Each structure stands twice: as C-alpha cells, then as structure tokens.
Structure 1
Amino acid sequence: MNKDKRTEIFTRLRDNNPQPETELEYSSPFELLVAVTLSAQATDVSVNKATRKLFPVANTPESIYALGEEGLKEYIKTIGLFNSKAKNVVAMCKILMEKHNSQVPETRDELVALPGVGRKTANVVLNTAFNQIAMAVDTHIFRVSNRTKIAPGKDVLEVEKRLIRLVPKEFLMDAHHWLILHGRYVCTARKPKCGSCTIEDLCEFKEKILD
C-alpha cells in the first residue's frame, strides 16, 4: 500500500470521527490504567460495568490497596480472569505508592514494570492519558492492519512498529483509536461489513464481502 492511499484512508476515518476516544470510562490516568489492565481478554462493556461500581468507592492507589485482593474481587468478579487481575492491580497500587508517589508513570519502561501491565496496556495509557504517540496493537488493530494492508506484520510488535513508521504523521496521535473502532464495528473478524465501509475502495483485502 502506498503513502497516498494510507493518507486517504486516515483522512476518511478522521472525517467520520474527528475526535476518537477510548470506550473505557475513566476520569484520571490511574483510573485508565486500572481499566485497561482489567480489559485484557474482556470487553470494554464488561469493564465499564464493574468500574462504575468500583471507582466511586476506590479510585486511587491507596483506596484500592486498602480494599485488598478479596475486596477488589467483589467489584470485578464479573470480568474474566478476575482473580489474577485483582492480585496484579493490588500489587500495582503498592508499587505506585512506594515508588511513584501514587502517580502513574509516563514512560513505557516504568509502566511495563508494573504487575499486570504489558506493552499494549502501557501504550494505551501513554497515548490516551498522556497524549504521547504510541500504538497499542490489539486483536482488532492487528486484523485491520493486515487485512487492509495498511501495515501488515506477522506479530503485534511488527505491526506496531510498521504503523508508527507508515501512518502519516498528522494522524499518528489518534490512529490507534480509529483502527480499533474500525475493527470493532466495521472490519469485524467473522464477517467484515465491506459493503458499508468508508474505506472499502482503498482497502487491499482480496476477499471482500460486499453484500
């Protein structure tokens, strides 16, 4: 795929959604960090249902740490892998209090050193909370990047690096949101909605479903 085609793709995605946002609900970098950590192998909808009850009660490292693992589990038990997530989040809170003055760090290296925080989670926080250029490649972005040929790669890290290199600079800050939303609602896994896709004529997917 050439640069002009990528530019037109992201121009259309931007025109369709000028200010894309994460669908996770949060009001601080810490709330976002917790929400993204909880969202691993879970839907944003399920996480939001849980955090709507959790955050009014506990939304700081100190208050969640005070809940403890068992207390936190009561709020997140409807989310997949809640046992390990409760353990990680409480341990994360302890480290944030002890090493970061209860503040969410603003570098990838510091973020991925926290329990339960991988590269994808760190990239979401850097991009969404701190307005840093970062590409959090999940299953949706991986699929869209490969299917459309915007930035094909054999694994998520390769796709991440290619997106950072190939997406025109003016779109880099919000590209993560546009791609994830496109994959979630249009370029779906089982049956992509090619016939109603705004970038269908630019996409290089050879097996388009146009009905």
Structure 2
Amino acid sequence: MNKDKRRLILERLREANPHPETELEYSSPFELLVAVTLSAQATDVGVNKATRKLFPRANTPQAILDIGLEALRESIKTIGLYNSKANNVYKMCEILVSQHGGEVPENREALEALPGVGRKTANVVLNTAFGWPTIAVDTHIFRVSNRTKFAMGKDVVAVEQKLEKVVPKEFKVDVHHWLILHGRYTCVARKPRCGSCIIEDLCEFKDKTEVA
C-alpha cells in the first residue's frame, strides 16, 4: 500500500471519529493501568463490569493494598484468569507504593517492570493516559493492518514497527484507537462488514464481503 492511500485511510477514520477514546472506563492513569491489565483475554465490556465494582471501593494502589488480595479477587472474579490477574494487580500496587510514591510512572521501562504489564499495556497507558504517540498492537489492530495491507507484519511487534514507520506524526496519537475500533466493529475476524466500511475502496483485502 502506498503512502497516499494510507493517508486517505487515516483522514477518513479521523473524519468519522475526530476524538477517539478507549472503551475501557477509567478516571485516572492508575484506573486505566488496572483496566488494561485486566483486559488480557477479556472484553472491555467484561472489564468495565468488574471495575465498576472495584473502583468505587478501591481505585488507588494504597486503597487496593488496604482492602487486601482476597477482596480484590472477589471484585474481579467475573473476569477470566481473575486469580492470576488479581495477584499481578496486587503486586503491581506494592511496587507503585514502594517505588513510585503511589503514582503510575510515565516511563516505559518502569511500566514494563510491573507485574502483568507488557509492551502492549505500557503502550496503551503511555498513549491514553499521557498522550504519547505510541501504538499498541492487539489482535484487532494486527488483523486490520495485515488484512487491509496498511502495515503488514508476521507478529504484533513487526506490525507495531511498520505502523511507527508509515503513520504520519499527526495521526500517531489516535491511530491505535481508530484501528482497534475498526477491527472491533467493522473489520471483524470471521466475516468483515465490507459493505458498511468507510475505507472499503482503499482497502487491499482481496476477499471482500457484501455484509453491511
């Protein structure tokens, strides 16, 4: 795909959604960090259901340490893998309190040193909480990037590196949100809704469908 076509795609996505936001519910960098950590192999809807129960009770690292691990587990038990996720969040809170004054560090290395936080989670937090032009690649973005031929790569890291290279600076803060929402609602995995896609004529996917 050439750069002119990529730019047209980004301009259309921006026109349709000028100020994209994550569908995870949060009101602070810490709440976002917890929500993204819980979202691994879970839907945003499922995570929001759990955090609506957790955050009114405890939404700071110290508050979660105060209610204890068992109460944390109980609050998020509707999410898959909740035991291991609760352990990670609790250990994360211990580190945030002891090493970062209870604040979420605006630093990739420090974020990735936290339990349960990998590159993708760090990218989401840096982008969404702090406005960095980072691009977190999940299964939706990986699929859309490869299927459309916008930014092809054999794994999520390769796609991230390609996106970093081909996305103009003015779009970098928002491109993660545009692509994930496009993959979640239009360019879905099994049968993409090409008939209702705003970039269908620019997409280089060969097996387009007529599903609206």
Match of residue 120 from structure 1: 120
Q: TM-score, normalised to structure 2's length?
A: 0.98
Separation of aligned partners in 2, 1:51 and 1:126: 20
Match of residue 23 from structure 1: 23
* Structure 2 residues not aligned, in runs of 5+: none
Separation of aligned partners in 2, 1:65 and 1:87: 11
Match of residue 191 from structure 1: 191
Separation of aligned partners in 2, 1:7 and 1:159: 17
Separation of aligned partners in 1, 2:65 and 2:86: 10
Q: SS state of the match for residue 200, structure 2?
A: coil
Shift of 1:52: 0.7
Match of residue 141 from structure 1: 141
* Structure 1 residues not aligned, in runs of 5+: none
Shift of 1:69: 1.8
1:1-211 alignment runs, 5 A limit: 1-211=1-211
Superposed CA RMSD in Å reads 0.6
Amino acid at match of 2:134: A
The answer as to whether partners of 1:141 and 1:179 remain within 8 angstroms in 2 is yes
% identical equivalent positions: 73
Q: TM-score, normalised to structure 1's length?
A: 0.99
Structure 1 runs of 4+ with >4 Å offset: none
Q: SS state of the match for residue 205, structure 2?
A: coil
Q: SS state of the match for residue 68, structure 2?
A: helix
Amino acid at match of 2:210: L
Separation of aligned partners in 1, 2:84 and 2:65: 15
Separation of aligned partners in 2, 1:41 and 1:108: 22
Separation of aligned partners in 1, 2:159 and 2:106: 23
Q: Which moved more, 1:163-172 or 1:95-104?
A: 163-172
The answer as to whether partners of 1:186 and 1:192 remain within 8 angstroms in 2 is yes
Shift of 1:210: 2.1
The answer as to whether partners of 1:6 and 1:168 remain within 8 angstroms in 2 is no
